[in-house]
Each structure stands twice: as C-alpha cells, then as structure tokens.
Structure 1
Amino acid sequence: MQKSTHKIRSIMAASSGNLVEWFDFYIYAFTATYFAHTFSTSDNPTIQQINAFGVFAAGFFMRPIGSWIFGSLADKMGRKKSMIISVVLMALGSFMIAALPSKNIVGNLAIILLLIARLIQGLSVGGEYGIAATYLSELAVEGKRGFYSSFQYVTLIGGQLLAVMSISIMFLFFSIDDMKEYAWRILFIIGGILALGSFFARRMINESATKLHQNEDRGTLKALCKSWKPFLIVLAITSGGSLTFYTITTYTKTFIENAGMDKILVNNLFLGALFILMIIQPIFGYLGDKIGHKNSLIIFCILALVGIYPIFALITKNAQNSSYLVFILVVLLFIILSFYTSVAGIFKAKLFPEHIRALGTGLGYAISNAVFGGSAPWIALQFKNAGMENGFFIYITIFIIIMLIATLCLPKKSELK
C-alpha cells in the first residue's frame, strides 16, 4: 500500500511539473495573435503572425539540443535531477518574455530578444518530453503502461487547457485592446511563478528504479547509435504525429479565428474541447493497452488520412454561423488525435534499453518536433499567405503516409523492463 502511494505521489509530482512547463510553452502560441504587433515591424496582420509563429517554430529547434543535454543527464545521473533543472529554465524564459521591450522602444532588437527567450524555453521543453515519458513508463507495470504513460499527455494538454483558461479569465478583467497593449505579459509572469512552484514539487519525486550505473556508456550518442533502427522509426512516426498534433491543437485555433469567428468565442470553444481531450487520454491509453499500442497508431494514421481535410473544410464553411458544429468538429479532431497521443510516450520508450532510454526517446521526439511540429502553424500561414491554403493539407497527408509505413515496421519485442 505504501509503495503504491509513493508511486502515485511520484507520478502526480512529475506530471504537475510537466503541466506547468507546457503551460508556459503554450501561453506563447495562444497569445501570439495579441502580441505579434508588439515585436514585428510589419503593418500586415498576417505577416505579424508569421513573424510571431516563426519565433514559436525557432524555439522547437532548440529541442534537440535540450533533449541531448537533459536526456544524457537523465541516463547518467537519474531522471529526477534532470527534470528539476529543466523546469527552472522554463521559469527563466517566461520571466524574460514578460519583461521584453516592444519594437517602439528598441526596434528590430525586440524580435531578437523574443527569439532568445523562446530558445531558452525550447531548450527546457526539449529535455522535458523524453525524461517525463521515460520516468512514467518505468513506474508503470506491464499491461498498464499505456494508461500510465497517457498521463504525460493529460498534463501536456492540461498545460494547453490552463493556457486557454487563463486567457478566458483575463478577458473577464481586460478588453482585447488591453490584451494587445500590455495584459498578455501578466500570463507569462504567472507562468514563471508556477514553474518555480513546480521546482519544489519535483524535489519530492522518487527516482525510478533503474540499473544505469551498470553501463559505462549510458546516455551517450555512441550508445544510441547501436539502436539506430528504432531511432529512425521514432523519427518517422513522430514527424507525422507531431505535425498533426500541433496542427490540431495549436493552428486550428488560429484557423478558426481567420475563418471569421469571434476571438473570445474561439477561446471559450477551445477551452471546452481541450478539457475533453485531456480527460479522454487515460481512456485511450487503457484502450491502447488492450488493442496494442501499434494498432492504436495504425488507427490514428487511417483516421487522420481520411478525416482531417474534410473536418477543416467543414470548419471553414460553418465558422461564422454555427459555433456548436465547429465545437463538435474540433472534438472529432481531438478524438482522432487521441489514438496517437495516449500511446506516444510509451511506444518510444519501449524501443530503447534503459541506459539510453531518456536520450533516445527525447532526441527522436525533439528532432521531429523541431522540423515538423513547431513549424506547423508557420507553414500553414505561409500556404495561406500564398493563396494555397489547401496545399498545407497535402503536406500533412504525405507525412501521415510516412508515419503509417514506419508504424508497420514497429517490432513486436519491447525493450522496456
């Protein structure tokens, strides 16, 4: 009983820190439309958004470096210490963004300073994913690993939900003009404070039971090279999965706003939809344990191929006249996504031995996210700006097909012990 209590406490502490880090990270994505003009010298709203989301994408390019640094640290010295350091970096990045001067004060330097702060946050989140996925998978028992690991995305999505909820609360006290002028900074201050709070929560974590000290080459790229086949599989699957994840959970909000729906209404709509997405993760994780994690990924690929474009087309058609239907359509996108997110962490962790598990899981995820995940809103807006918005969905389809092929190559044998 006591052992079970410690395990639950460790999972909750690790997950709460994960939630705070992702809240800090997503506050940027969901407030970019309000502060884009603060840092971009262009008068074109679309160009302003492209610049802001370009910085959002740039933060993802620090993820491979963060996953390498923190993944190696986690495999060499333990998961706990690495998670503590990563959340401190996130707090630093959030406080920096809150205090940044605008273009009216420092000109083009404003966007450069914003970029630096985002790179720090990208470094932090780059380390976060692999360590959290590894830690949760190692605490779980056979037959329940999908269920346990799904809590990583419960808290990841919870971070998004908290970000959207915070914006909704802000609108109770501030107007849209206030948000554009200064109020958006308050959210980054709150994020920094919460990140510091999670520092203390993570100090209570129990280290997962591993035998890392038995491998002298633990946490090294040399050791990871011996597992190059599963690493390539992780890259391919995560490329399609991350592209779809950020398209559905991040760009869809901007897409609906650009289709003509009121921004406050869109924010409230996403608040409800993200709550549903969060609470169904353990359900789909449990389902993944029953039908097989590989089968769950295959179902996701098939549903994404046949469903994403028609759903987005229906959103465009109904954005200005039926908010209820748009809400249902967003939830449908989230249901499709859940076949991936609920098992995303565990399928990666299962492919690597424990002495390179955090490094392999995190680095494979981070590289794919850097190239295809964080760039999704920016690429979508580029297609829109060029008058070829539907071309973005062809882009998604190509990578889903690649993901499906890689999923079919997943081995039956698991490395996870």
Structure 2
Amino acid sequence: MPTTTEIELTAPQVVSDPYPHFAAAREQAPVQWHEGLGMWLTFTHATANAVLRTRSLGRLWAPRWPDVPMPSFELIHVNSLLENEPPTHTRLRRLIAAAFARGHVERLRPRVAELADRLADRVADEGADGGVVDLIALYAEPLPVQVIAELLGVPEPDWHLLRPWSNAIVKMYEYGVTDEQRTAAETASSEFVEYLRALVAERRTTPGPDLVSSLIAETDTEGGRLTEDELVTTCTLLLNAGHEATVNVVGNGVSALLTHRDQWQRLLDDRSLVDTAVEELIRYDSPLQLFERTAVEDTPVGDVVVEKGTKIAALLGAANRDPVVFPDPDAFDVGRADNPHLGFGAGIHFCVGAPLARVELQSSLSTLLRRFPDLELAEAPQRRPEFVIRGVRSLPVTLRGAPS
C-alpha cells in the first residue's frame, strides 16, 4: 500500500521552513502520493535523481488551463528546451550549447565583476549613514538581470523592462494561481515576445558579440538552425531561469551566511572557499524546490510504480538535505567539498546556464565579502510566499564598518 502525504506545500509554516517537514516525511517513505496535487512526491536524493534522469519520465508541456487562452505564454513553453524531450530536446540543446561554447561565459566574467562592483557602490551610498539597506532590491535582483541583458545584447536603456516580465511569468509555476496573475503573465509574455522578435530581426542584419547573434548563426551538422520561435523562447528561458535562480541563491545564501556568523568569518579569512561556498548556498536552501515530470510508460521509482500519464515531482530541497548523501545535512558548511546537490538538475535537462550562474554567484559573493566585511542583518528577511521558487522579498542589512 503506497504511503500518502498530506504536507501542504503552500502552508505558511512549510514555506517558511520546509526542511523539517521534508525530514519527517522522509522517515515514512522515499516516494509518497499527494492526493491534493494528484502526483507523487520524492523525499530522497536517490529518488529525485532518478526522476530527473529516467527517460520514461518526460518533461511534457500541456496547458494547465486549457480553457484560458494564453497564446504568448504557451509559445514560450511549447518551443522551450526545458519543456521538450528527445529528439526535439537533443536538437535544441546541441544548438544552444554550441552557441554558449563560443566563449560567452568567459567574455562576461570581467563584466560581471564590474556590474557587481557598480551595484555595490549603490549599496555603499545608501548605507553610508548606518541606515538599513535592502540587499535584494539594490544588489541581488539587478545583478542577474543586467548579466542576462549583457549576454543577450539588450541595450542598457531597456534593462528595466526585463525584471517585471520575468517576475510575472514565473508566478505561473506556483500552485493556486489567480486570474489576475494569469492575465499579467500573458501580458508580460506577449510584450517580451514582441521585444525579442525585434531584437532578433536587428541582430540578423547587424550581428554583435552577444548570444542572440550566436544563436542565429549556429547550425547543426545537418545545416539546421533554431526557428525564430525557438530563438525567442530560448532568450525568455535564459532570463526567467537565470534571473530567478541567481537572485534567490544570493538572497537565501546571504541570509544563511549572516545567521551563521562563523561561516561568514570563514569566508572572510579564506577567500579560496568562495567556490565551495556557492555550491553550499545552492544546496542548503534550494532556490528551486520542485520539478515535475510525467510518466510516458509505467516506471518504477523507489518503492512505487508511476503509472503512464501520472506526474511525479522531484523535491529538490528534500534531496539536498538527505542524510544518506550529505553528512549532517542541516549544518551549513561553506567548506563542504563533497556536494552532489541537485540545484542545477540532472540528466539531459541539467541547466545549460550553470557555468554562467556559477560565475555570477562567485563574483557576487566575492564582491560582498570584499566591500562589506561587516555586513549584518538588520532584521529578519521577508520571505516570498511561494513554495516552488524559494526566495526572500527583502534582505534588510546594515554595513556597519566602512566598506573597502
């Protein structure tokens, strides 16, 4: 008889701190049925990893509200690398990965450091009198948007357009979406698609060193190219996934560091730990908590069989606190060397932007350590009310000592 769980993922106490709830569920069974969601949930690293890697569990796009017209929102998902399986996924990933391989991450490395420093200047100005500064609004949110804008070649006067579009679209990945949120997501999708079509048209006639130009130029071994809809969708995915994940790793991670002062001090004393610290930030408080798949045939996962057409969700936050894989999983350890977290996914859907995300996170953390060694929490961070995409709305801090 399969184990069922009644864990309410959107309950305030779960959103606030899901990890004790995951641990209690993990003691019962590695995979459990959730009647309210109508899907299986995984609570261990092994079962989540299996969900992400098993080919008979597909990422199959279907409108959640088939009676609600959302043509632009649907367009940016039907053609997405994330929402397709082989052979379409194989073709898309080959072309996108080849375009990324043209040196865009290394090209952006010094620019990311420059942007982080420029934003740190704003933080320093705002907090110079000892006042409270919101590190999310002034630093964590703008940085990944600016990096993605640089990557795509979006002109600086248009940077302010991107974050509202992304914020409206990603609300659709939660549960309990309102009519107003659906309308806002479709409007944002439509405006973003229109903007990107114009950008693609411009890059076709005037190529630059940006990723859009590389995506346009890339061909596979059979001479195939990305269609315009696939180009637009890829750019949208990079913004939504890249922005949301990075801002939430910074927000969740700096919150963890400032409530574990010994770990903040370890980084101040030994900057060589920044790379392992970034991986621990992702593991300790995962920015993406849930990733759905659908069985295309009856598929065993753990001790259950996921029947064809049934959904199963990998709970990434639960996987990343599994004591079988991570000794003392609830401890926050910036020097944790053996860290096979699932924060970037696994299998064929492993995040294609992971190298760029790591550059952003390493630069972001290094800049904070260098510029604001006496950074302190002014009050408890305000957590976002969503479960799937986990982050904080605001991170009130003081700079205390004079920044270097």
Structure 1-normalised TM-score? 0.32
Greater strand fraction, Structure 1 or Structure 2: 2
**Higher relative contact order (CA closer than 8 Å, sequence separation 6+):** 1
More helix, by proportion: 1
Q: Normalising by the residue count of structure 2, what TM-score does the alignment of the two structures yield?
A: 0.33
